[in-house]
Structure 1
Amino acid sequence: MVPILDYLLQRQISPQWRGLLTALAEEFETQIGQGELRQLMYRVGCRFAAAAPLPPCSSTADLADALNACWQETEWGYVELSDEPEYLRIAHSCAPLLGFGAAALSWTPAFLEGVYQTWLSALGAEGLSVVQASEFDEHATIEFRLGRHPV
């Protein structure tokens, strides 16, 4: 990761939680497989989104504003949206997923996948699914896509 981003992301995660979250993630990984961990984080994301519903949105710009208002309030980074021909691109940056440790980045992004699926379904994206389209990259960004995806 770019050194300045690494530094800022580490500062974003409260020191009182770093050790606990890393130990929790390590224990989860010894007890639960990667697929189950992704499912667990996805369900946690769904619960998070259900507890913090978005207001109605009439455009992609309105949706981006609503999403960013929630993420700003919770200090979970920010999102950029773009309408692509086949999908809605969701680029989420600076989520504090490193709080669980770098090894957990293989399953913790499923939290965001569940959040976005729940929020977008509630706003009318029935029949469409959110899928993770990239890894947490050196710019602290993860891409998701809302669209019709083969099962």
Structure 2
Amino acid sequence: MYKRAEITKTKQDFWTAFGQYMKPVPSAEGGRVNWQNYKTHVPQVFFRMKAERGFAAIGIEINFKDLDLQELVFEQFETFKKMLHGILEEEWDWQLHTYDNYGKTTSKIEKKLDGVNVMNQDDWPAIISFLKPRIIALDEFWSNVKPAFEDFL
């Protein structure tokens, strides 16, 4: 069993290592980007990466309190589904109005990698290899479609 402080430190070490690994990678538009804390610059639309005990995940979260607006933004993403999957070269899981860990209604478009553990440094290369191409692909996708979401600013 891991202690809370050990989990926190290990996760922090992982994300520091991930950030160092990704630092030389420019954004799709050629600029610098903080990959582990990617900013979409559209309120309540987030690109999230998780490295946990048992899985890693990456996705788009839509967190508007107004559920009609959340659904509208989700539908906007659906209009670009074919483009997103083409850039990612894989299908992702689409969930309208699911719940996060705090019971808040959210919508997600995500991909998971099961069977990895951030607490095991031997799994870090697999987690990084899973997250890296997908966050780069999400950035490329976002650089193409962000103007369609600017009405939600």
Fold shared per TM-score above 0.5:
no
Give TM-score scaled by structure 1 length: 0.32
Q: What is the TM-score normalised by the length of structure 2?
A: 0.32
